[in-house]
Amino acid sequence: MKFNHIKILVFGAVALLSASGCGDLEDINKEKLGNPENFYSDYAAVVNPMKSMQRGLQSDYQLYPNLSADMFSGMFSTATPFNGGKNNMSYFMMDGWNNRIIARQQDIFNYSIIIDDAAKTIYPDTDFTATFAVKKIIKIFTASRVSDSHGPVVYSKYETPNPNGTTDFDSQQDAYNFFIKDLDAAIVNLQKVQNMPVTGNEGDKSALTKADLVFGGNIGQWAKFANSLKLRLAMRMSYADPAKSKQYAEEALASSAGLITDNADNALISVGQSELSFIIYSWGDCLIGAPLMAYMNGYNDPRLPAYAIPATDSQVLGSYIGIRQGIDLLNGKTTYGGFSQPQAKSATGDYFSGTNGKMKLFTAAEGWFLKAEAALRGYAGAGDAKTNYENGVKQSFGEWGKTADVATYLANTTATEAPYIDPKNAANNINAGDAQLSTITIAWNDADSTERKLERIITQKWLSLYPNGPEAWAEQRRTGYPILFKIRQNDSGGLISTDAMIRRIPFTNDTKTSLYNYQQASQMLNGPDNGGTKLWWDKKL
């Protein structure tokens, strides 16, 4: 498949798309707007594409992120030997899977253009300040995930191609600064509308309420999410640009927008049918990851029954056991299909539901763990590292309906990650004393070194991020924590180090042959375009 940069025009009440290539955006033409007059009523020409932007974050979920970031994070695995067992999990990069990363971004950004044109041509008298701010936040969230996979990303120049038709990338460093700048602008605009009289921007508020699958039109919560996302991105820069990381983080910590630090404000997209519902339970292509189960078993973690289903295999019946990534799966599902399946039964519902699923963008636990790390680094306004760390664990336990167990968990001074025993193949075992097993405990210890405190924070943060594989993988690469199991079968042809593990996802042939300026992007990598080259923010030695 070959895709080109797509331009969108809206003529009157009909959105006409001209696209070349693989046709990933044909569904836009089928937007369920009803009869032509419905474009004008209830702001449908803005509302429906806004919903599609949000739902688009889980489109093609199996190809991305499930068969890449989810697996690399240590949270998930598979018993399916895709491509004869040589695939992303064994560092044989699957071009046809990985091309969905940019394709999904294109879909979401093109919906954004549809909204812009609809606002201009269909609703010229309506001020969509808040709605457009939310749209901007969704685009930043989307582009940041693309950047955290590939590095350079088409963001600031997406709608401004060069005279020769090519479209330029932003380096990851530039992109991150653009993200922060645009989040600041979005927060200003959201607070502007929030502070208006009740009758101010009525059309804008009405459209957002109808379109918002996350907060139901709550402008203050969107501002809080944008500021929380700013803190996330600021901390991601901690090793690559410590000065700006500190500046941006301190701005977020001091912002009147606030941060997501209570589960009532969690950012979860209501997606209807979670794509994981059929990937896991119908197809059987996704099981739980061995590292996640090893940590949770070792910690006797009360969240375990909310995260995973006991194994049905007769050799491990009733236990919680995952599959190690990058191994010989032997006879595939026949061998490993009875190991534990993932689930996500939160206190407020089933994230993997086939009818009322949720996609996790940002939760209170992450907010507290970000503050804990910021405090550890001495950032102003971050508070106390121990208090923030313990609040992060408490909020995570609250998210999963385990609040009654949190005090005992936080007081545990001895539990560590459990060894991993594979009853199907002892060569996959991670025995006690192996360097691939963490020795980090749960209870906060002021006497620990700064690095050991960081490992404790990030390990618990990783546990709380479940099932957000992309964020978990990004943080593991940035900090080195949690300690994960290395793959046993490396099919990268020497391009990716087994010990250093995969650092990024290479650009695919679709990008190389498109009107995106791939030559420019490849020069921004400061290394070859393969999975062993570190991203800009991946600077910890």
Contact assessment for residue 369 and residue 392, using Cβ atoms and an 8 Å cutoff: yes
Contact assessment for residue 485 and residue 417, using Cβ atoms and an 8 Å cutoff: no
**What pLDDT, on a 0 to 100 scale, did the predictor assign at position 34?**
43
Closest of 340, 282, 356 to residue 306, by C-alpha: 340
Query: What predicted TM-score, i.e. pTM, was given to this entire model?
Result: 0.93
Torsion, Cα 298 299 303 309, to 10 degrees, reads: 10
Token reading at 219: 């402008």
**What pLDDT, on a 0 to 100 scale, did the predictor assign at position 273?**
97
Contact assessment for residue 173 and residue 536, using Cβ atoms and an 8 Å cutoff: yes
Residue 199 to residues 187, 212, 377, Cα–Cα distance (Å):
20, 20, 44
Pairing of strands 14-18, 7-11: antiparallel
Q: What count of other Cβ atoms lies within 10 Å of the Cβ of residue 77?
A: 28
Token reading at 444: 């906060």
Walk me through the domains of the chain, giving residue ranges and CATH numbers: 43-493 (1.25.40.390)
Residue 60 to residue 103: CA distance in whole angstroms: 10
**What pLDDT, on a 0 to 100 scale, did the predictor assign at position 541?**
79
Residue 405 to residue 385: CA distance in whole angstroms: 22
Contact assessment for residue 322 and residue 293, using Cβ atoms and an 8 Å cutoff: yes
pLDDT tens track, the chain, 541 positions:
233 333 333 332 233 233 333 334 344 444 444 444 455 569 999 999 999 999 999 999 999 999 999 999 999 999 999 999 999 999 999 999 999 999 999 999 999 999 999 999 999 999 999 999 999 999 999 999 999 999 999 999 999 999 999 999 999 999 999 999 999 999 999 999 999 998 889 999 999 999 999 999 999 999 999 999 999 999 999 999 999 999 999 999 999 999 999 999 999 999 999 999 999 999 999 999 999 999 999 999 999 999 999 999 999 999 999 999 999 999 999 999 999 999 999 999 999 999 999 999 999 999 999 999 999 999 999 999 999 999 999 999 999 999 999 999 999 999 999 999 999 999 999 999 999 999 999 999 999 999 999 999 999 999 999 999 999 999 999 999 999 999 999 999 999 999 999 999 999 999 999 999 999 999 999 999 999 999 999 999 7
**What pLDDT, on a 0 to 100 scale, did the predictor assign at position 504?**
98
The full length of the chain comes to 541
Pairing of strands 357-362, 345-346: unpaired
Q: What count of other Cβ atoms lies within 10 Å of the Cβ of residue 181?
A: 12
Contact assessment for residue 115 and residue 208, using Cβ atoms and an 8 Å cutoff: no
Residue 477 to residue 470: CA distance in whole angstroms: 11
DSSP 8-state secondary structure symbol assigned to residue 289: B
Q: Positive or negative, the Cα torsion across 228, 289, 83, 528?
A: positive
